[in-house]
Each structure stands twice: as C-alpha cells, then as structure tokens.
C-alpha cells in the first residue's frame, strides 16, 4: 500500500469508518527489540478494544514492565496505524503523544462506531 492510500484510509477512519490498517508496513528498524515487541503487540489490539499498559507488558512476557511499555509507545512512528491510543492505564486513560483529549476522542470514535454498527444488524 502506498502513501496516498494511507492518507485516504486515515481520513476515512477519522470520518468514522472502521478501517483495517494491518496491511501497512511500518519501519521499526530504529527501535530496540523491546520497543518493537510492544508496538507489534499493540497492532493486534482490535478496533474498539482497550488493554492496560500492564496487560500489554504481560502479553509480551514482561509482567513488571508497564512503565517501559508506556515509554515504548511514545516512540510509535505511526499512531492510529499502530493504535497506541487503545492502551490505557489501570486508573484512567493514560498518556498520548497528541494529548489525552485526542486519545479520548479516538476511543470515543471507535466506541460509537461499534455501537452504530451493532444497530444496523
């Protein structure tokens, strides 16, 4: 897939369409093995779902690395394509490179889309 397709898909996503970004390759070569594992696992989080930083740490076999997971997510080169907004803290929303309000809006957008899709069946 090319850059123009990615831009079109991002626009569709932000307009409220459910878009599958799994076909896009993301260059993670400048990151550590740990950071790559965090981001690769983050790509598996389904649309409309959330996991906590500690759950994500456990999924990659690093049970006590919730803070390190958060730091790795800060290095995400392509937010939305790698949906780091779907990773939240145990006690709340957690941080986001584009601000907590942007994270809230993305999570709300996905939640509304799932709700609207369910109504059509």
Residues carrying an active site annotation: 84
**Helical H runs in the chain?**
3-14, 33-42, 53-59, 66-73, 100-119
Are 56 and 88 spatial neighbours (Cβ–Cβ below 8 Å)? no
CA distance 37 to 15: 30
Read off the tokens for 5. Answer: 């397709």
């Amino acid at each position: 897939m090319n850059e123009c397709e990615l831009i079109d898909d991002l626009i569709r996503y932000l307009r409220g369409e459910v878009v599958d970004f799994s076909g896009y390759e993301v260059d993670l070569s400048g990151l550590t093995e740990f950071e790559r594992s965090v981001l690769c696992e983050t790509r598996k989080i389904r649309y409309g779902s959330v996991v906590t930083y500690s759950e994500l740490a456990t999924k990659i076999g690093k049970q006590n690395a919730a803070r390190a997971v958060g730091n790795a997510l800060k290095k995400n080169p392509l937010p939305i394509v790698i949906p780091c907004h779907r990773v939240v803290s145990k006690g709340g929303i957690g941080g986001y490179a584009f601000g907590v309000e942007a994270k809230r809006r993305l999570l709300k957008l996905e939640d509304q889309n799932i709700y609207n899709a369910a109504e059509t069946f």
